Structure 1
């Protein structure tokens, strides 16, 4: 952006995809000023964004919806920021105007009394700090870009705990000693990496729901009469799958000097199974038709089967009702993959004393999705777990039980703990850049302003 401003070009269309990702609110304001300068030079700026400050600084807003996936694809609203605040059809407008909002918790948790304590962390720009994470709470780690959040949480906290608990053998951040591990039994990083590297992976194989579906089809009278086992209904095993495409539904054609091209299999027409397997039907649907359902449709379809219904409900709870059961993992966004991982964690029977670490889970999420995500994070903490979230989103930060604010600046000017405590304590701290923005949000909430 700095290069473009210096070039003095005019009549250029600039397209930016979520430029505020990873930026503190203080940096956001600088970015918005920069984009306005580019516009004033005679250019057109097109921004895909979920940040409220960016939206309210625009000259024109196009709101897509009404839902996600197949339920979206329409222009719900187009106009100025002032006009979207009055819109009755735009969910984005309702959040911007305050008709819809994410409320602060009525009361904050006090925790288990134990802490994870790592002393003398000095990796990268960390200034010999003591990392103290209260157990049984949702802790938000905040600070301007480059202040050392990822170094503290991922390079140091996660890797030190993973080496102790998960036999992790890689490198880890420099510390003097581990003083207390706070009764933590497992440490899990829930990031936005794909849930699988091949088209064979999908939401139901990753969450274990496919096992229940295969068992259901195996138990049908027609399947039992033919002697079919659960493997018959898997596209990873010979027997029931289409052998022409080996259960992929697609055939790869290698193009010399060009990227590979995938075409629909002519034998199964993309259904992935052979005709004998597709003869078996439950409620007049075969296995391929079930995998083509959305989670919402499947929840209704399997409403009389408790084991399936409960697992599908978890995917709905994390806001993924629009995703198809058999949708290839390679087509899922980072945010969708992360929420599928959260749904799997919620579905585990024995789940407590786990340390969950999330790095900016709100990336790419709308206000309504953030509200659903927050509900899921709270449920995991209420189950007796500890949650550490690196975050710039104020809706997540204001909902945390505990905040650690790093700074005061990025790079060599950062790496110090500026403030640590409850949301209200951080908001009162004059030295905290995050506290300044929290103070406004808490004051607005008291006076009923969005």
Structure 2
């Protein structure tokens, strides 16, 4: 199906027998209320009984419409929070301190306005399409420039499409943001299954390899036979998987988070697993990277171990308590922004709460964690990526490999750059710099 869908132009694809349907529901006080709605054009061939059957691959426009009752319920839960005792140390070694989280929660309850976040999403062309039995939510913005390069960008955890919204203007209309027309991209921003407004899979198996394959279906369903892929965090893992699959038409990938498992020197990886000292052949820079990896595994990896083994157990608290959810997400945001331990120095309170509130309202705290469990299960062998690869290393990233370490996983490394600012959430923290990196990274594959 070759659909030219973008910039909100859908009139040519809508039919007179469109209908409204409930996107998802949530129970409040025993009553089901619609969480979001969209118009579903009934497409496809007529069945033998004369009824029109929706085509399973039909692309449906989507609008967010959170019921006010859900927002009232959120504020009531915030007001009824039972707070834990304060930490017994003077640093963040036991996790997010109440004195740090309480001001954010107070703002969430008294001043934060979800409707502004909702309006930001609804100002963009949003869609849902069913791939492999799961509804995938995505934003699709076409550039006005001729020969724009199609680009699919994937968010991570504990993030969402909100991480990427400030990239839309610079990437699709570069001439208005310091770039040139030949730098333009058609932009597709999908939501990972189990996150945000994408459907929660009802069965296991949605690992990064399967998601990557779904993204190729999505791009070709949108009429893009040639495209590039980008991601950070889980988006990088999914882009890596797509690069290993190397479907026809995938020109290259860009990642701003690199997999340690495929790029760490084998002897250093063995030393890391055994708890022994780093190999003697490491340079001074490499020894720093080795010790940072050890510190992360020893002191910063607990969240992933829990979600990789018991996502359902932690999910009860994430589903029932908005402050519990906020602490779980905010802790990692604080750990990984460039301004370590001080997220509000890198992101506004509203930006942080847009993301946390999306998780709360869609009840995807539990389901988003399952991707860690899925990835821990036996899966595809981590063979080298077969397509050209571009890498940007941001100074606040958890793992910052040197260029020569990447050759194992990326034999066709076409771009490598180390920049001076930005953390793990680089697209969110530094959208201007990030946009410039993508223009440079993909220049040779256009």
Greater C-alpha Rg: 1
Larger relative contact order (C-alpha < 8 A, sep ≥ 6)?
Answer: 1
TM-score in terms of structure 1 length: 0.27
Greater helix proportion: 2
